[in-house]
Structure 1
Amino acid sequence: MDTLKNNWSARGFVMAAVASAMFAAAASSSVNAAEAQAAQAPPTKPAIVVLGDSLSAEYGLPRDTGWVNLLRERLAKERFDYSVANSSISGDTTSGGRARLTAVLTRIKPAVVIVELGANDALRGVPLATTEANLRGIVDASLAAHAKVLLVGMYVPPNYGPDYSQKFHAVYERIAKDKKVSLVPFLLAGIEDKPSMFQSDQIHPTVQAQPLLLNNVWPTLKPLLAAGASQ
């Protein structure tokens, strides 16, 4: 895991889940899409909810080419009878995700919640204690709703300082251990030192990188899927 962190830091990338004013239009579009999806009738099959930011909201990608849509295809291919609700918004923070989670849980009643949030908090200077409290709140609410939780961690670039970077990532590890939930340490593992796998902003992964993102999630997600939902 140190290798992943060092490679990411050596590149000096801004965090892949960047939230700023330049993404306001994308955020608005993603909000509308997320709200439209959440407004749909609850699925009749077990549901997986992805609560994320631009990494999961297909920022800069053609529609239905992101890793979340590839997850739908993987589930069908491996004959797991689950629906997938993408409740991801570009630029979202842990506070935003926490604020809208209750409505998502109420409407969809997911069997699994994938939490891919937190990097934008660091970009905005949100105190680590606040980020951790929000993530814990998201995990607690999901568990209380009888959903399994998969937490997706993130690393921060070196300009934040090695001490902060270590403490930031430790938040995810600590929550996963304390709450006994599954953890994907780094969604971008394997592409963090490959510029060709990123869009021109060198922040968001390309279409070609999306299968690799899914491959980072799938081995940890698959054990959480109920055997009864596989045909």
Structure 2
Amino acid sequence: MRTLLSFCYLFILISFISCGENSQKKGEDHTAESEQKTTKTIPSQNTKVILFYGNSLTAGMGLDPNEAFPALIQEKMDTLGLQYKVINAGLSGETSASGKNRISWVLKQKVDVFVLELGANDGLRGIPLAETKKNLQDIIDIVKTENPDTVIILAGMQIPPNMGPEYTSEFKNIFPKLASQNNLILIPFLLENVAGIPELNQPDGIHPTAEGQRIIAQNIWPVIHEAISH
């Protein structure tokens, strides 16, 4: 299974990076629109905010926005009668650097729980690990400075071994190290039980199907529930 997964990743890597770069360009053209929509979402006084900040995995690329896992978390909140507004601030093609550049826009409102899901595009493009780690740390620092009471959840990510075993291993370790150093709640691997399973991913082999998104939501719900229970 690991050999098959590595082969699938290798096969789609080049096309995905190209897609990501095109999505990034398109995303940059629409960043202002995305930011405007985010900042216009003003919850009622008694409603708390959970903000998912990530790339195409969070945005639900290729799916209806209501099928992306942030929307599914909102459904769970509503079913349980919990007064939380979930905001999907995912942007296709986002890297840790571009995420750092737009973070101030999404923090124009009070955020109670901030879920950081970035880094996958960095790893697939072979961006130096120190740069990725620094960008993620800077985002964490900005959130803490702007909203000291915000609970931060860091979504762990893994990449195929195409960049070599050392890079792959160190990339995976960035997330638990940052979580430990900053006292964050960690989602060990966002795509657990989804990555590498053809029927749970779209034809590109990277982006989850609607069913894959449901599994992600099920995986991360206990982490979200822990965060809002403190």
Establish whether TM, by shorter chain, passes 0.5.
Answer: yes
Which whole-Å deviations, capped at 9, do the CAs of 1:74-131 have from their partners, x for residues lacking one?
Answer: 11112221001111100001111112112211x2210010000001112333211111
Aligned to 1:64: 66
Report whether the alignment pairs 1:188 with 2:191: yes
- Give me the whole-angstrom Cα distance separating, in 2, the residues matched to 1:130 and 1:123: 14
Structure 2: segments with no counterpart, 5+ residues: none
Q: Which runs of 4+ in 1 moved over 3 A?
A: 5-11, 28-33
| Contact kept? 1:53, 1:88, Cα under 8 Å | yes
Q: Give % identity.
A: 31
Q: Counterpart of 2:189 in structure 1: which amino acid?
A: F
Using the alignment, how far apart are the partners of 2:66 and 2:33 within structure 1?
Answer: 12
Q: Is the 8 A contact 2:59 2:91 kept in 1?
A: yes
Residues 59 and 65 in structure 2, CA contact (< 8 A), matched pair in contact too? no
1:167 aligned onto 2:164: no
SS at match of 2:56: coil
Residue 139 of structure 1 corresponds to which residue in structure 2? 140
Q: Counterparts of 1:81 and 1:7 in 2: how far apart (Å)?
A: 43
Matching residue of 1:12: 9
Which letter maps to 2:43?
P
RMSD between aligned alpha carbons?
2.4
Report the counterpart of residue 56 of structure 2 in structure 1: 54
Tell me the equivalent position of 1:35.
35
Q: Give TM-score scaled by structure 1 length.
A: 0.86
8 Å CA contact retained: 2:68, 2:210: yes
Alignment of 1:80-159 (within 5 A): 80-105=82-107, 107-144=108-145, 145=147, 146-159=149-162
What is the DSSP-based 3-state SS (H/G/I as helix, E as strand, rest coil) of the residue aligned with 1:204? coil
- For the residue of structure 1 that corresponds to 2:116, the secondary structure is strand
Q: Please tell me whether the aligned partners of residues 55 and 94 of structure 2 are also in contact (alpha carbons under 8 angstroms).
A: yes
More RCO (CA 8 Å, sep 6+):
1
The count of residues paired between Structure 1 and Structure 2 equals: 222
TM-score (norm 2): 0.87
* Counterpart contact for 1:34–1:86, Cα < 8 Å: no
- The amino acid that maps onto 1:93 is T
Secondary structure of the corresponding residue to residue 87 of structure 2: strand
Letter in 1 for 2:106: V
Distance in 1 separating the partners of 2:151 and 2:125 = 29
* Displacement after TM superposition at 1:152 (Å): 0.4
